[in-house]
Structures are given as structure tokens and as C-alpha cells.
Amino acid sequence: MYQRGDFLYEGKAKKLYKVQSFDDLIWVEFKDSLTAFNAEKKGQFSDKGLINSKISHYIFNYLTEQNIKTHLVELVEPQVWVTKKLDMIPLEVVVRNQVAGSLAKKFHLPKGKKLKKPLVEFYYKSDELQDPFVSAEQIECLDLYSNLEILSDLKSLGLKVNESLKSFFKKIDLDLIDFKLEFGCNDKGEIVLADEISPDSCRLWDSKSGDNLDKDRFRYDQGKVEESYKEVLNRIERVYA
Ligand code: TMP
Ligand code: ASP
């Protein structure tokens, strides 16, 4: 029923278009490209867009069942979503359960160390600045985002999504180490989960072997990138399809 309209924007992992006759919707195509370190490193594999679209679709449906509002309207093709158009909040919300990535680097902490409670961090979305870490005070004093009341809502939503995702992945023997979320506001002023949740935006470690099945395999040339993304999808389909 929905048809692709005019081209809007091409990001690192998705292409956005209008939806014909629906001004409040966006047509989102998942691309096969992979980037890391603010797109300094580029790669791709065939079906990457398809795999991430499917993984993310299962997860967004699961979160909807847990009463979390998302931008997903319909999977119109295996690699294409129609979503609600939102006023995007220029912050990345990162939630961490165990030390890895930039946190390990910043504080010289061992990878895998469990945090005593989930840690929520904000990063300011800016390609030019390479998405720097920001504190709530910096957001306020530098006028990075005017609607400050939502910061505590973003934190509680991040923690709620974390609890849902941890149990989602536990059933398929994956430990959720950390992940990144993006949100927007709808026309009622409600905060809605946007973007995607996939091995691009999560760290997922096998509960038994500790092997990672996520974008770090591409970032750090660990090999088996495609196999790892497929393995995540296969595990999800075995349990949730
Ligand atoms: P970090 O340890 O590099 O700060 O990443 C934390 C989490 O956020 C990790 O699961 C990967 C994800 N992430 C993105 O989705 N996009 C990004 O641009 C970055 C830097 C991290
Ligand atoms: N998302 C960023 C990029 O595509 C960074 C990353 O995920 O490592 O460059």
C-alpha cells in the first residue's frame, strides 16, 4: 500500500525517502554498508541491510509488546521500513552493563567488568565533532538541546529498554554488554524510540564462549563479520519467529 516518494537523506547505514501521500511517514531502506570510527573505516557485505532490518524488526516488535513506543509502522519489504516521522533529538543514549569500548579505553578498565548498576550516557550527535560525550549540564549550558525536561525521561527509557533487551538476548544465549539508542518526539510531544537496534548498535557476547557477535568484529578486524550478524538473526528466528 505504501509507495516510495522523493529522496530525503542518505546516512551511513540507511537511506530515507518520503512516503507518497503520507506526510507524517518516512520510507527507510537499510543499506549493506558498514562504517566505524565516524566513517573513517568503511566496508559492506551483501544482505547486511536485510539482516539488520530483520533483527531490528524483531526487537522493535518485542519492545512494542513491552509498551515501549517506537517509530516502526510497517516492514514493507524485508529491507525497508515505513516509520513515523519524528522531531529527532540530537543525542545518542548509550546504556552499559559491562565495561567495553570507549569506557574501557577512557578509564583503562578490563573489558567485561560488570558495572554495579547500568550506566546511561549521552553523546551529542554531530558528524563534525565525532559525536562527543556530553553531560546533562553541558547540554543545558551550551544550549545543545532546549527541551531539558526530557533528559530524565531519556534516562528512564534507556534503562527500561535495557531490562527488556537483556531478557530478549538472554533467551538466545547472548549477554548485552552495551548499546546505543536514538529517540525523537512525535506530534503529541511523546518520546518515541527511533533508528534501529542491531549488531551495529549493540555489543553482544555469547554467554558461554564470550565471543562477540557484533560490529566490533568489523571495527577491530576480528573476521567472521557476516557470519556473526547471521548467527544473531538465526538465534532470534529460532526463538522468536
Ligand atoms: P562506545 O563504547 O564506542 O562508546 O559504544 C557504546 C555502544 O554504542 C556500543 O554498543 C556501540 C554503540 N555505538 C553506536 O551504535 N554508534 C556509534 O557511533 C558509537 C560510537 C557507538
Ligand atoms: N557509527 C559510527 C560510524 O559509523 C561509529 C561506530 O559505530 O563505530 O562511523
d(CA 233, CA 241) in angstroms, rounded, equals: 10
Asked whether residue 145 carries a pLDDT value surpassing 90, the answer given is no
Cβ of 11 below 6 Å from ligand 1: no
Task: Give residue 18's pLDDT.
Answer: 98
Which ligand sits nearest to residue 202's alpha carbon? 1
Q: What are phi and psi of 73, to 5 degrees?
A: -105, -50
Q: How far is the CA of 5 from the centre of ligand 1 (A)?
A: 31
User: Which numeric CATH code is attached to 87-240?
Assistant: 3.30.470.20
Residue 147, ligand 1, Cβ within 6 A: no
Nearest alpha carbon, ligand 2 atom 1: 36
Task: State pLDDT tens for residues 39-93.
Answer: 999 999 999 999 999 999 999 999 999 999 999 999 999 999 999 999 999 999 9
Please give the pLDDT value at position 101: 98
Smallest CA-to-CA distance from 169 within 74, 62, 50 is with 62
The reply to whether CATH 3.40.50.12780 applies to domain 4-84 is no
Contact 71, 86 (CB under 8 A): yes
User: What is the pLDDT averaged over residues 118-124?
Assistant: 97
State pLDDT tens for residues 179-223.
999 999 999 999 999 999 999 999 999 999 999 999 999 999 999
Domain boundaries, the chain: 4-84, 87-240
Mean pLDDT of the chain: 97
Closest by alpha carbon to 56, among 165, 162, 184, 171?
165
Band of residue 147 on the pLDDT scale cut at 50, 70, 90: confident
Report residue 164 as a C-alpha cell: 527488556
> Would you state the pLDDT for residue 194?
98
| pLDDT score at 149 | 81
Say whether pLDDT at 148 is over 80: no
Cα 201 to ligand 1 centre (Å): 6
In a 3-state reduction of DSSP, which class is residue 153?
helix
Q: How far apart are CA 181 and CA 171, in angstroms?
A: 21
Radius of gyration of the chain (CA): 17
Q: At 147, list the grid cell.
A: 527541551
Q: Hey, which of 38, 203, 225 would you mutate to test ligand 2's pocket, going by the most ligand atoms within 8 Å of its Cβ?
A: 38
39 Cβ inside 6 Å of ligand 2: yes
Tell me what pLDDT residue 170 has: 98
CATH topology match: 4-84 vs 87-240:
no
